[in-house]
């Protein structure tokens, strides 16, 4: 199940060359690979000069105590100054930094000059509330400009933020506040989601009954919902921030000053507080945003649809784009409110030229139908990005064709909360793209695929994705748990960072991500990746989405069980369809990969970041009570699946 299957998936040999005009004016050319290969550290030192340093670093990398890295350690800078003030000083104060689009349709444009004032006021307010350099501030906000302003205000005074995704519960907030020992929480009365105000402050109130140490809660008024109020602790943002001076002198901090902690859940155990620091992180966030999206700050309008609660929001809404002086869109709500064309309406309204979104969203748009984006003028678009999980070739091609007018390059960007910034991705003006592949490590990044014994696999082989050299935006540790940092990432393969993803190299040496290694199935002694079977299923015209799991099986060890969402016209009752699909997978990947069972469903269980929760589907496939559903975006989905599948327990 290695080369042939990939070759089959690629049988049409689809390759897309960069558009000539983009290639001719690209920010980064093929030369960057050569330059970085000849002198990797020199290359990163050069990228660090994209930033404005109060003290220029003379050291590049200190790797004397691996895996604890220091980048640009003797340099000093202020991250917020780099994201805001310097653009104003350069004469671009009137440029719009943020076009905010609220879900109800309200909008607000914030220029760099205005952003500087707001961030300065918020920094003064935090200082007044007793926040000092080195402290932690928890941020639990909807997708409103104050989220970005809060992050930058923390950075400006050298405090680390810990953003907690607005969809998380009181429990999740409490554990994160406690683990990071946050002093102040910034939240809102609520935000708009799916056409209604959705409360946020009650979850903070609840969390704070369980943890100590939070002196003040700063509350943004967004929805005007009623809120409970704890006198002496709770303060309105518009009052406290509103009365501050817009003058704030940014102080320079060490390059290794903590910038933020962001918790990632992992499959087991308590969430890991991923620690990122300042100079190296900002260097790579800035460089990759410039290189991968080819951002031209004077003319582009950039839109990343991620939530600020994920690392994508940190690196590609706040730090990358703003350090580059971009004009960007921030949208508060869901893609189907008030109608399924909302995203495309926003692209048309603001003339978005660079769009960065997730495969789960793209597959949803496919399901909704080609006619919806077709109603809008998307001609401003020139680069499309994807992130979060492997993008199946069908979705990739649909994205390019229906959103990108069959001309925009699609950049499939692989990275993680831990890596801080993009690591593997095409470059839009350089790479001949292949649908479904993240392709190759960016200049200055060293990634490869190894087998169980840590040997690099040859082209055509598969195994584990590893990063073989330190990189500027790498996590520095797990907050408060250096040992777990070593054990989780640096112990599986000596001297290499183990990402936890399976991957393959094709005959050209390009990398194809195969999902988390925990998601690989073992069928009759063959390793089969869930991603590949899902991809094969979705390449059938009747299938909109698929999730595949390995269920315990007496004869084969694991048997492949596929949950599929059919497209509008396909009929779930049609017996021949199921056998068609099995044969289609067999023909694409080989008979061993034929699912034993295929179960049509209306929805799939996903986390709030769009990752399929295979654990729950395995419970269904193995006929067990379904486990913990608290991290599901919509916890009713599992009830729906079980109600639809009275036959799920019976044999094929």
Copy the structure tokens of residue 182: 């946050």
> How far is 312 from 388, CA to CA, in rounded Å?
9
Q: 128 in helix, strand or coil?
A: helix
520 beta partners: 529
Distance CA 256, CA 55 (A): 13
Minimum Å gap between C-beta 422 and ligand WT7 is 8
To ligand WT7, the closest distance from the beta carbon of 173 in angstroms equals 18
State which residue, 327 or 416, has the beta carbon closest to ligand WT7: 416
Distance CA 403, CA 356 (A): 12
Q: Which of 436, 393, 445 is nearest to 416 (CA)?
A: 445
Taking the complex as a whole, how short is the minimal distance between the CB of residue 323 and ligand WT7, in angstroms?
18
> Of 111 and 318, which has the nearer Cβ to ligand WT7?
318
Measured in degrees and rounded to the nearest 5, phi and psi for residue 562 equal -115, 130
Q: How far apart are CA 27 and CA 172, in angstroms?
A: 41
Which residue lies nearer to ligand WT7 by CB, 117 or 307? 307
Query: Regarding beta strands 462-467 and 136-140, do their DSSP bridges make them parallel or antiparallel, or are they unpaired?
Result: unpaired
- Could you tell me the smallest distance in angstroms from the CB atom of residue 609 to ligand WT7? 6
Phi, psi for residue 290 in degrees, rounded to 5: -65, -45
User: Cβ closer to ligand WT7: 256 or 307?
Assistant: 307
Q: What is the closest distance, in whole angstroms, from the C-beta atom of residue 607 to ligand WT7 in the complex? A: 9
Distance CA 108, CA 111 (A): 10
Q: Quick one: 173 or 387, whose CB is closer to ligand WT7?
A: 387
Toward ligand WT7, which CB reaches closer, 100 or 498? 498
Please classify residue 228 by burial: count the beta carbons closer than 10 Å to its beta carbon, then call 0-12 exposed, 13-18 middle and 19+ buried.
exposed
User: Closest distance between ligand WT7 and the C-beta of residue 201, in Å?
Assistant: 26
Nearer to ligand WT7, 53 or 415 (CB): 415
Closer residue to ligand WT7, CB minimum distance, 516 or 597: 516
| Shortest Å, Cβ 446 to ligand WT7 | 17
- Of the pair 237, 310, the CB lying nearest ligand WT7 is at 310
Partnered with residue 329 across adjacent β-strands are: 99, 303
Residues that bind ligand WT7 (CB under 6 A): 264, 310-312, 387-390, 412-417, 438, 499-501, 513, 516, 609
609 contact partners, CB below 8 Å, separation of at least 6: 165, 307, 310, 358, 388
| Burial group, residue 493, by CB count within 10 angstroms (0-12, 13-18, 19+) | middle
Q: Give DSSP secondary structure letters for 340-373.
A: TTHHHHHHHHHT--EEEE-HHHHHHHHHH-THHH
Smallest gap from residue 417 Cβ to ligand WT7 (A): 3
Tell me how far, at minimum, the Cβ of 391 lies from ligand WT7, in Å.
7
Element (H, E) at 499: strand 497-505
* Nearest distance, CB of residue 315 and ligand WT7, angstroms: 8
Residue among 101 and 389 whose Cβ is closer to ligand WT7: 389
Tell me the closest approach of the beta carbon of residue 503 to ligand WT7, in angstroms: 9
Between 359 and 550, name the residue whose CB sits nearer to ligand WT7. 359
Nearest residue (CB) to ligand WT7, 5 versus 124: 5
Burial 24-57 (b: 16+ CB within 10 A, else e): eebbbeeebbebbeeebbebbbbbbeebebeeeb
Q: Which residues have C-beta within 8 Å of that of residue 556, sequence separation ≥ 6? A: 523, 524, 596
Nearer to ligand WT7, 499 or 641 (CB): 499
Q: Is 65 helix (H, G, I), strand (E, B) or coil?
A: strand
Q: How far is the CB of 602 from ligand WT7 (least distance, A)?
A: 25
Residue 33 Cβ vs ligand WT7, minimum distance, rounded to whole Å: 19
What residues have CB less than 8 Å from 406, skipping those under 6 apart? 400
d(CA 426, CA 409): 9
Angle between helices 201-208 and 170-180 (to 10 degrees): 60
Distance CA 191, CA 110 (A): 19
């Amino acid at each position: 199940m290695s080369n042939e299957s990939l070759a089959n998936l690629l049988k049409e040999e689809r390759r897309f060359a960069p558009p000539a005009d983009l290639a001719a004016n690209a920010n980064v050319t093929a030369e960057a690979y050569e330059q970085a290969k000849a002198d990797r550290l020199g290359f990163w030192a050069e990228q660090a000069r994209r930033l404005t340093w109060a003290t220029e670093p003379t050291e590049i990398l200190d790797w004397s105590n691996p895996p604890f890295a220091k980048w640009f350690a003797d340099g000093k800078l202020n991250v917020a100054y780099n994201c805001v003030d310097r653009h104003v000083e350069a004469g671009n104060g009137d440029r719009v930094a943020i076009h905010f689009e609220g879900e109800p349709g309200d909008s607000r444009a914030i220029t760099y000059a205005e952003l500087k004032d707001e961030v300065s006021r918020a920094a003064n307010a935090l200082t007044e509330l007793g926040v000092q350099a080195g402290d932690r501030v928890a941020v639990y906000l909807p997708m409103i400009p104050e989220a970005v302003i809060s992050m930058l205000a923390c950075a400006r005074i050298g405090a680390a933020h810990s953003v907690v995704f607005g969809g998380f519960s009181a429990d999740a907030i409490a554990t994160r506040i406690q683990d990071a020992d946050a002093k102040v929480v910034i939240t809102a009365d609520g935000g708009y989601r799916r056409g209604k105000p959705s409360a946020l402050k009650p979850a903070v109130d609840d969390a704070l009954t369980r943890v100590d140490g939070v002196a003040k809660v700063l509350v943004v008024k967004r929805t005007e919902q009623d809120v409970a109020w704890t006198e002496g602790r709770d303060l309105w943002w518009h009052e406290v921030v509103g009365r501050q001076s817009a003058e704030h002198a940014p102080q320079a901090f060490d390059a290794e000053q903590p910038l933020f902690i962001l918790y990632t859940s992992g499959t087991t155990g308590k969430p890991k507080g991923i620690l990122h620091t300042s100079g190296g992180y900002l260097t790579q966030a800035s460089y990759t945003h410039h290189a991968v999206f080819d951002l031209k700050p004077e003319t582009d309008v950039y839109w990343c649809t991620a939530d600020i609660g994920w690392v994508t929001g940190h690196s590609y809404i706040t730090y990358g784009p703003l350090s580059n002086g971009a004009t960007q869109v921030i949208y508060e709500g869901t893609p189907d409110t008030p109608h399924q064309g909302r995203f495309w309406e926003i692209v048309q309204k603001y003339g978005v030229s660079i769009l960065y979104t997730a495969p789960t969203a793209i597959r949803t748009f496919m399901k909704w139908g080609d006619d919806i984006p077709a109603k809008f003028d998307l001609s401003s678009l020139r680069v499309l990005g994807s992130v979060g999980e492997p993008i199946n070739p069908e979705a990739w091609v649909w994205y390019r064709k229906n959103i990108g007018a069959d001309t925009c390059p699609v950049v499939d960007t692989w990275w993680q909360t831990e890596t801080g910034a993009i690591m593997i991705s095409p470059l839009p003006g350089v790479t001949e793209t292949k649908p479904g592949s993240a392709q190759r490590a960016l200049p200055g990044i060293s990634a490869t695929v190894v087998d169980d014994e840590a040997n690099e696999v040859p082209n055509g082989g598969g195994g584990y994705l590893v990063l073989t050299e330190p990189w500027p935006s790498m996590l520095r540790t797990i907050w408060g748990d250096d040992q777990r940092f070593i054990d989780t990432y640096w112990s599986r393969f000596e001297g290499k960072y183990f990402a936890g993803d399976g991957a393959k190299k094709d005959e050209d040496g390009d990398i194809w991500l195969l999902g988390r290694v925990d998601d690989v199935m073992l069928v009759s002694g063959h390793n089969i990746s869930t991603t590949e079977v899902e991809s094969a299923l979705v390449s059938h015209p009747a299938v909109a989405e698929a999730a595949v799991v390995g269920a315990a099986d007496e004869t084969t060890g694991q048997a492949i069980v596929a949950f599929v969402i059919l497209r509008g016209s396909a009929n779930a009752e049609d017996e021949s369809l199921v056998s068609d699909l099995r044969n289609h997978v067999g023909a694409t990947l080989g008979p061993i990969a034929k699912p034993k069972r295929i179960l049509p469903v209306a929805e799939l269980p996903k986390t709030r970041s769009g990752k399929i929760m295979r654990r729950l589907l395995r419970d269904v496939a193995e006929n067990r009570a379904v486990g913990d559903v608290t991290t599901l975006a919509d916890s009713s989905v599992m009830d729906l699946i079980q109600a639809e599948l009275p036959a799920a327990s019976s044999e094929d």
